[in-house]
Structure 1
Amino acid sequence: MAKSIDYGNLMHNAMRGLIRQVLENVRKDGLPGDHHFFITFDTMHPDVELADWLSDRYPEEMTVVIQHWFDNLEVNEDSFSITLNFGDSPEPLFIPYDAIRTFVDPSVEFGLRFETQESDEDDDDDTEISDSAKITDADVSEFEPAKPSKTDVKKAPKEAEIVSLDQFRK
């Protein structure tokens, strides 16, 4: 019997499930309104699959933008795969939910951050969620979307406006 309830892991699993559900809805119906996502993930995670040139360019982590153009979005229980455009070069990506470090939808000021901290008592990583449903202006501004192709620029709506989250903080 466990000595305590592992709330950190329970939250971790619930929030990964939230991401899975959001991506499943996007797979079925497309992105509604101005919604778009910045997803930062660990490129060193053993199950991540991406082109060699991308892993060379982003040896630790990478932020992708799901917005104007994406293809082949497949959502699984433990991962998702998607094809994104990198400088007019479509590249498939396979991303386990466990590799995700941040998930941000700036159109509605929503963000999740997953932090891994090592415990002195265990050799295993304990995942903790810090300010899980809050993001700061600095968090949003650190995400730089990939440059859209010429076709995307013609169809692209105006840039997302970053607004202060101070009013939502306690």
Structure 2
Amino acid sequence: MAQDPPAQDLMHYEALAQDALRGVVKAALKRAAAPEGLPGAHHFYITFKTDAEGVSGPNDLLGKYPDEMTIVLQHQYWDLAPGETFFSVTLQFGGQPKRLSVPYAAVTRFYDPSVQFLLQFEPPPAAPTDARPVAAAPAEVTDEPPSTDGEAKIVSLDQFRKK
């Protein structure tokens, strides 16, 4: 008796599940953007593909991280604006405030270490270089490392990865 070939997933359930879980990221950011801010000890490490379509920010900052970047939303972030398809936030890098806009589709990792909550996503395809929006005015490039005095930190999440 011949066996039927496996059915093809025409519903694209994996993509639907990824989108639904990105909704958790959006909901968490909406809570963080509320006047009360982040409750308790909650804070977020958000990793995103800097070369994904729709990511925008200062050329100097995105140039330092041409593939992937992790931002921390904890004490000092401003103007967090979670929209329907992307979020924007102002963070300090090297003592300078810089605005980033990140589509939820560009997020590859969302981690709240206060409760050990982790979501990982499939990386999006890279946007063509000429299609990437960037900030209108280039920010000043400095060689000084960012201060750890309450400023945003870009961190490696290698310590959290399974080996």
Which among 4, 19, 22 is matched to residue 13 of structure 1? Answer: 19
More helix by share: 1
Following superposition, the deviation at residue 6 of structure 1 comes to 2.2
Per-residue CA deviations over 1:53-76 (Å, capped at 9, x if unaligned) read: 111100100000001100001111
Question: Corresponding residue for 2:77?
Answer: 70
Is the alpha carbon distance of 1:78 and 1:106 closer, same or farther for their aligned partners in structure 2, counting shifts above 3 Å?
same
Corresponding position: 1:87 with 2:99:
no
Question: Corresponding residue for 1:50?
Answer: 57
Paired residues of 2:110 and 2:118 also in contact (CA < 8 A): yes
Paired residues of 2:49 and 2:68 also in contact (CA < 8 A): yes
Question: Corresponding residue for 1:102?
Answer: 109
Q: Aligned equivalents of 2:31 and 2:94: distance in 1?
A: 27
Which among 23, 27, 33 is matched to residue 33 of structure 2? Answer: 27
- TM-score norm. by structure 1 comes to 0.67
The residue type paired with residue 114 of structure 2 is S
Is the alpha carbon distance of 1:117 and 1:32 closer, same or farther for their aligned partners in structure 2, counting shifts above 3 Å?
closer
Over aligned residues, Cα RMSD in angstroms?
2.2
What SS does the aligned partner of 2:94 have? coil
The residue type paired with residue 7 of structure 1 is Y
Paired residues of 1:37 and 1:105 also in contact (CA < 8 A): yes
Following superposition, the deviation at residue 4 of structure 1 comes to 4.0
- TM-score norm. by structure 2 comes to 0.70
The higher-RCO structure (CA 8 Å, 6+ apart) is 2
Corresponding position: 1:115 with 2:143:
no
Identity score, percent:
40
Following superposition, the deviation at residue 20 of structure 1 comes to 0.6
Rg larger in structure: 2
What SS does the aligned partner of 2:45 have? strand
Is the alpha carbon distance of 1:88 and 1:55 closer, same or farther for their aligned partners in structure 2, counting shifts above 3 Å?
same
Paired residues of 1:78 and 1:96 also in contact (CA < 8 A): yes
Question: Corresponding residue for 1:148?
Answer: 148
Structure 1 outlier segments of 4+, above 3 Å: 2-5
Question: Corresponding residue for 2:43?
Answer: 36
Paired residues of 1:40 and 1:103 also in contact (CA < 8 A): yes
Following superposition, the deviation at residue 22 of structure 1 comes to 0.7
| Corresponding residue pairs, total | 124
Stretches of structure 1 that go unaligned for 5 or more consecutive residues are 119-145, 154-163, 165-170
